[in-house]
């Protein structure tokens, strides 16, 4: 970066968020705020059975209800669809067959909540009244709920059309695994069952579809993380020309992965709007979201770790069974993330994890914040705690002995990723990160405090975990910037905002280069018309990809402004700097041209030449193409108190030391970490999407599915390291999911520590009080026998 760009000083500042004056004062427009004349509302009739064949759907009574515009089944929508299924499969090695869902069930239903019919009425209320009148006749088929059972001979088939339930088989495999175990001084073996959860944003999914007959354009307002992908799927599914489809994302009240994957309703609603020739809104309600929206996290691990006599890892091997639900909307990324993230900040010489992905009669699996990684980290950190206990080593010491040293960076792991490249840790100081965290949490003094608490009958424990997160997944994101004759700076990007502060992030980067205040910059995100190409929000990527694209585009624009100004000021380009939106001669304050003046000059005047014969317009665009993933890392410590009589757990303190490279806005990074940790607390102690043996969901309200409330979340203490990545000019890494990844391993480590000397081994998430009581009883019983 040149000196002039540094002058803004906006990068690294906890600037007030530019979106907040709208969001906090009730001025934001979310999906449900969109109204327009003749807007109809839709609701879906969903399968009450986890598996069955549709014999008939009788819509007569529903259609006859006053206020109902239409009731559609698949055959009705098929008239405007190019094919039966939504062509959304992602390329993935190991996938044995794709299971793309239709937008309404065709003849087989494969999970409770699968959309079967769609009612469009003058209001949602009437639509729901009519939906209750739709008569479904479904012949029940055998149901498969447990993925381990699903892989056994003779298991019921989740989908009659699939050869079996093993939808994919893949592995992570490198090094001499057999040798590692043959020569091992110690081997620890564990099994883990990590249960299903979900993203559960405050605002759920929703779409408004309108076909404009004048322009022959279909607009879909969509509360999504990936509008460009939604557009591509609409173009392919509806057979429209690209210019005829526009997807716009209004303000979004949280995504957390739930809104990354394209869901059937996102096609059914626009298809219905085309048929009905009327705009239609559908807003998911909380009750339906539990079965209509994707979730994930269900993994069953059987794993063993081989160690040297001094606690150094020699190898890990095992199997991982993944519950994929009833379709594969997102390839096989999630268990692969889990298996590779297991490695973490440690030297693992040999590793083999065999991964089986099983279909089940449950809502299809797709990313939930962390996207598989918290589970892999959980498994590794539990193995390290076990080994430390067995060897009589301190938990921090076994980690220190196994950590990758900063001098080893960049550190290559011979695992091929989705894009074919090897895993390369780009930067970071893992040992120092742990040192800082131990110090902040009072690790050294803790045994004394623990002893004193025990005397008062209190059981407190301290847990720790280290992890990495692959962030900034490519292949690209694009940003264009223009300064019009009005002087307004407009930044457009394929990035999307879900409340995390993407607009502020982009504005700060541009402000840094142009020397204007971020709040004066207009940022347009989530509109396929504003940015022709884009990918959106997933894999903690937008600061890396869009942030660097914004930086490059702003730099191009600044250079163009300087060339124009050099002409207008009759000064050499090298003598110019940009300060407060004015290009001025170095050392001569006041002698300059504002970006507004330059923009006016570059807008052209009839008959006159443009300054410096530059191409017209003060604008620039850039795409940032990633050259690899940048690895964020962190160390978490949690102090908990366990009530051994009830199995209750209270988190007393939570410390995070976090390294996501250079921070654009530390306040927003900390917001991401806080939110991420809260999702991790949920995953560890509360959130559990349960089903009975018939595939009936048991937790479909927020009274039954427990989210962590502010009552159970401690104040976070967050410290930072900044190890800039060499992989992008800003040196930034992602921060969106990292908090979630470290939390389960940390909290469980603390719970086990609180109950020592009882040998409690938690092998299931979430850990409920009755389960903890059971473990305590069993440990007490075995201690009495001993």
User: Which residue, 574 or 645, is less far from other proteins as judged by CB?
Assistant: 645
- Residue 517 has a CB neighbour count (10 Å cut-off) of 16
Residue 128 touching other proteins (CB under 8 A): yes
Q: List the interface residues with other proteins, window 523-542 (CB under 8 A).
A: none
**Footprint (CB under 8 A) of other proteins, residues 727-786:** 768-770, 773
Q: In what side-by-side order are the strands of the sheet with 135-140?
A: 108-109, 52-58, 135-140
- Report the SS3 class of residue 683: helix
Q: Which of 712, 716, 719, 778 binds other proteins (CB under 8 A)?
A: 712
Residue 690 interacting with other proteins (CB under 8 A): yes
Out of 309, 711, 715, 784, the only residue in the binding site for other proteins (CB under 8 A) is 711
Q: Which of 504, 575, 572 is nearest to 542 (CA)?
A: 504
Binds other proteins (CB under 8 A): choice among 16, 75, 132, 422 = 132
Residue of the chain from 27, 183, 239, 648 that contacts other proteins (CB under 8 A): 648
Binding region for other proteins (CB under 8 A) out of 69-77, 121-129, 381-389, 390-398: 121-129
- Minimum distance, C-beta of residue 246 to other proteins, in the bound complex (Å): 30
Under rule CB under 8 A, residue 456 binds other proteins? no
Calpha distance 681→652 (Å, rounded) = 12
Does residue 97 belong to the site contacting other proteins (CB under 8 A)? no
Minimum gap (Å) between residue 701 Cβ and other proteins: 7
> x/- site string to other proteins, residues 46 to 75, per CB under 8 A?
------------------------------
Exactly one of 114, 129, 251, 737 binds other proteins (CB under 8 A); which one?
129
Query: Closer CB to other proteins, residue 113 or residue 628?
Result: 113
Q: Decide: helix, strand or coil at residue 43.
A: strand
Q: Does 703 bind other proteins (CB under 8 A)?
A: yes
Give CA 247 to chain center in angstroms. Answer: 20
**SS3 per residue for 555-570:** HHHHHHHHHHHHHHHC
Rounded Cα–Cα distance for residues 170 and 578 (Å): 53
Smallest distance, Å, CB 129 to other proteins? 6
Angstrom distance (rounded) from CA 472 to CA 725: 11
Tell me which residue of 405, 564, 561 sits closest to 489, measured CA to CA.
561
User: Residue 574 or residue 711: which is nearer to other proteins going by CB?
Assistant: 711
Quick one: three-class SS letters along 688-717?
A: CCCECCCCCECCCCCCCCCCCCHHHCCCEE
Non-local CB neighbours of 141 within 8 Å, separated by 6+ positions = 51, 52, 53, 108, 156, 160
**Under rule CB under 8 A, residue 652 binds other proteins:** no
CB of 346 to other proteins, least distance (A): 34
Token pair, residue 241, equals: 């020309």
Of 749, 778, 755, 711, give the one whose Cα is nearest residue 458.
755
Work out whether 124 is an interface residue with other proteins (CB under 8 A). yes
Number of helical H runs and strand E runs in the chain: 21, 31
Task: State which of positions 259-288 bind other proteins (CB under 8 A).
Answer: 285-287
Smallest separation, CB 125 to other proteins (Å): 4
Among 394, 698, 782, 783, binds other proteins (CB under 8 A): 698
Which listed range, 98-106, 125-133, 166-174, 755-763, lies at the site for other proteins (CB under 8 A)?
125-133
Decide whether 43 or 723 has the Cβ nearer to other proteins: 43
Q: Decide if residue 646 touches other proteins (CB under 8 A).
A: yes
User: Residue 403's Cα: distance from chain center in Å?
Assistant: 27
Size of the site for other proteins (CB under 8 A): 27
Distance of CA 111 to the CA centre of its chain: 24
Other Cβ atoms less than 10 A from the Cβ of 216: the count is 11
CA–CA distance, 157 with 141 (Å, rounded to integer) = 9
Report the residue number, 501 or 708, with the smaller CB distance to other proteins: 708
Cα–Cα distances (Å) from 9 to 487, 573, 735, in that order, read 21, 22, 21
575: which DSSP letter? Answer: G
Q: How far is the CB of 43 from other proteins (least distance, A)?
A: 9
Residue closer to other proteins by CB (options 41, 251) is 41
Q: Would you count residue 205 as binding other proteins (CB under 8 A)?
A: no
Give the residues lining the site for other proteins (CB under 8 A). 124-125, 128-129, 132, 285-287, 645-648, 685-686, 690, 698, 701, 703, 706, 708-709, 711-712, 768-770, 773
């Amino acid at each position: 970066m040149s000196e002039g760009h540094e002058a803004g000083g906006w990068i690294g500042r906890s600037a007030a968020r530019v979106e907040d004056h709208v969001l906090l004062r009730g001025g934001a427009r979310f999906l449900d705020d969109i109204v327009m004349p003749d807007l109809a509302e839709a609701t879906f009739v969903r399968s009450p059975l986890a598996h069955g064949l549709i014999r008939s759907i009788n819509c007569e009574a529903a259609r006859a209800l006053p206020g109902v515009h239409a009731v559609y089944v698949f055959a009705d929508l098929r008239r405007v669809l190019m094919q039966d299924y939504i062509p959304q499969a992602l390329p993935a090695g190991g996938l044995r067959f794709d299971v793309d869902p239709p937008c309404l069930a065709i003849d087989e239903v494969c999970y409770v909540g699968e959309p079967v019919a769609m009612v469009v009425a003058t209001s949602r209320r009437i639509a729901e009244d009519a939906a209750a009148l739709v008569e479904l006749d479904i012949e029940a088929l055998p149901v498969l709920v447990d993925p381990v059972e699903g892989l056994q001979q003779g298991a019921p088939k989740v989908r009659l059309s699939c050869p079996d339930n093993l939808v994919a088989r893949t592995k992570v495999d490198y090094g001499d695994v057999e040798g590692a175990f043959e020569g091992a001084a110690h081997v620890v073996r564990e099994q883990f069952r990590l249960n299903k959860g979900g993203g559960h944003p405050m605002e759920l999914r929703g779409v408004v579809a309108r076909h404009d007959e004048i322009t022959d354009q279909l607009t879909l307002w969509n509360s999504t993380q990936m509008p460009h992908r939604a557009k591509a799927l609409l173009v392919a599914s509806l057979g429209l020309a690209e210019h005829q489809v526009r997807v716009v994302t209004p303000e979004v009240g949280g995504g957390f992965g739930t809104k990354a994957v394209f869901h059937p309703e996102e096609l059914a609603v626009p298809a219905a709007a085309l048929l009905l020739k009327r705009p239609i809104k559908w807003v998911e309600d909380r009750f339906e979201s539990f079965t209509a929206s994707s979730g994930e996290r269900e993994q069953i691990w059987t794993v063993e770790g081989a160690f040297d006599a001094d606690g150094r890892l020699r190898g890990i091997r095992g199997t991982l069974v993944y519950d994929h639900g009833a379709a594969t909307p997102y390839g096989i990324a999630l268990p692969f993330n889990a298996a590779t993230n297991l490695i973490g900040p440690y030297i693992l010489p040999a590793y083999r994890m065999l991964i089986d992905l099983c279909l089940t009669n449950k809502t299809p699996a797709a990313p939930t914040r962390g996207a598989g990684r918290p589970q892999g980290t959980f498994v590794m950190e539990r193995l390290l705690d076990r080994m430390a206990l067995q060897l009589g080593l301190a938990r921090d010491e076994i980690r220190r002995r196994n950590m990758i040293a900063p001098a080893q960076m960049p550190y290559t792991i011979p695992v091929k990723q989705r894009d074919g490249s090897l895993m390369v840790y780009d930067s970071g100081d893992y040992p120092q990160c742990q040192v800082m965290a131990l110090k902040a949490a009072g690790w050294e003094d803790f045994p004394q405090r623990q002893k004193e608490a025990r005397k008062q009958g209190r059981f407190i424990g301290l847990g720790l975990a280290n992890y990495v997160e692959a962030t900034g997944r490519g292949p690209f994101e694009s940003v264009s910037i223009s300064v019009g004759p009005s002087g307004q700076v407009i930044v457009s990007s394929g990035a999307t905002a879900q409340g995390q502060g993407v607009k502020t992030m982009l504005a700060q980067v541009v402000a840094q280069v142009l020397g204007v205040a971020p709040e004066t910059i207009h940022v347009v995100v989530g509109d396929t018309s504003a940015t022709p190409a884009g990918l959106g929000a997933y894999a903690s990527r937008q600061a890396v990809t869009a942030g660097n694209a914004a930086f490059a585009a702003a730099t191009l624009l600044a250079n163009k402004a300087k060339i124009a100004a050099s002409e207008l000021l009759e000064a050499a380009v090298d003598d110019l700097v940009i300060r407060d939106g004015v290009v001025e001669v170095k050392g001569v304050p006041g002698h300059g041209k504002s970006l507004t003046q330059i923009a006016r000059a570059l807008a052209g005047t009839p008959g006159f030449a443009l300054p410096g014969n530059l191409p017209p317009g003060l604008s620039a665009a850039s795409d940032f193409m990633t050259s690899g993933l940048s690895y964020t890392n962190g160390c978490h410590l949690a102090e908990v108190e366990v009530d051994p009589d009830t199995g209750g757990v209270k988190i007393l303190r939570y410390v995070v030391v976090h390294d996501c490279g250079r921070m654009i806005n530390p306040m927003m990074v900390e917001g991401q970490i806080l939110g991420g940790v809260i999702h991790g607390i949920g995953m560890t102690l509360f959130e559990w999407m349960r089903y009975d043996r018939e595939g009936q969901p048991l937790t479909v309200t927020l009274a039954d599915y427990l989210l962590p409330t502010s009552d159970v979340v401690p104040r976070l203490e967050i410290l930072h390291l900044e190890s800039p990545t060499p992989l992008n000019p800003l040196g930034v890494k992602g921060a969106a999911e990292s908090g979630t990844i470290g939390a389960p391993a940390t909290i469980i480590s603390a719970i086990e520590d609180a109950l020592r000397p009882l040998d409690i081994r938690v092998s299931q998430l979430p850990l409920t009080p009755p389960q903890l009581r059971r473990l305590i009883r069993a440990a007490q019983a075995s201690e009495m026998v001993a």
